[in-house]
Amino acid sequence: MKAFLKRCLLFFLTVAVVAGVMYGFNTWLQQRDVYKVPKSVESLFIGDSHIKCTFDYSMIAHSINTAQTAEPYIMTYYKLLPIIENNPGIKNVILGFSYHNIAGENDTQFQNPSKVTSLYATYYPVINYKDVKVEHCSWQRYMKSVIKHKVLFNLMYTKNLIKRISGKGTPAYPYIGTYLRSTNKFHDNTKLRIPDHYYTADSTVSRPSEISKNYLLRIADFLQKKNIKLYLVTSPLHPHYQAGIPEFYRREFQDFRKQLEQYPNVIYLDYENDFKTDDYFKDSDHLNVKGAKIISMRLDSILNQ
């Protein structure tokens, strides 16, 4: 019996040592391989799918688009910190700012098992649990993500681990997105998007996300201290989607916008009503390539005038 217990103890100690070594090794790699933009980049696009579908950075001088689908402001904040610290040439940050960004549905991502697992898998290189701990946030799922991605299987190095150990090759950054070029014809998904964005399961208007509002204020404050301009952009919305936005959220949004504009580095750009026909949209709140081209050219003239 004692021999069996000793073997069990030795096994678990070996597993713990190997796990600790792998965790330390992966952490070292991530700290060494910080995300760097090209030296010519001065304007950083960041945020969720609205920015991802609206701005073709190839048409905007000295820019790059890092937007990710369904990225809440809390993740944008922790993603932004190392990007700014490691890329001193950035002068402008362009961030999506629309009604859904401050809606309560942003908080439900931390309550939905599949969504929170996806968030952790995407942003694990730039967050710690203490950073993103909110009500109903799953500690168990965060730890599973740590074990999977920092101990067993680091997504940043799946294709070229050997090269990265020697400092060669390019790691994959799961939290870094890019422009999504869509040539799809318009699909009206208003009846799905409006309830998903603004209503609870019992069809009542949701409460605003205080977490999202707080983190957007923190983003503005952080960039002000860095002397970086923050462009808050409301992307074009299809008239059908606009008609479905609850009046409560329109008032909440306008009040919060005025609060944000108190920051001297914040510039608000409103493109909500720029397109009235289906031709420029891929769905009710995302542009296709035709719409993105027009808005991208307009912003280029502002950023590089």
* 159, pLDDT greater than 60: no
- Please tell me the class of the 42-112+174-303 domain: alpha beta
> Which CA distances in Å does 219 have to 62, 196, 252?
22, 25, 19
Residue among 78, 45, 35 nearest 218 (CA): 78
CA distance 116 to 177: 18
Residue among 283, 74, 61 nearest 180 (CA): 283
Beta-bridge mates of residue 65: 45
For the chain, the domains span: 42-112+174-303
CA distance 232 to 220: 10
Residue type, 39: K
* 268, pLDDT greater than 90: yes
Task: Give residue-wise pLDDT tens across range 113-135.
Answer: 778 788 888 888 888 777 766 65
Q: Could you tell me the pLDDT band of residue 110, with boundaries at 50, 70 and 90?
A: confident
Residues 6 or more apart whose CB falls under 8 angstroms from that of 74 comprise: 132, 134, 211, 212, 215
The mean pLDDT of 142-167, rounded to a whole number, is: 61
The mean pLDDT of 190-217, rounded to a whole number, is: 94
pTM: 0.89
Task: Give residue-wise pLDDT tens across range 223-267.
Answer: 999 999 999 999 999 999 999 999 999 999 999 999 999 999 999
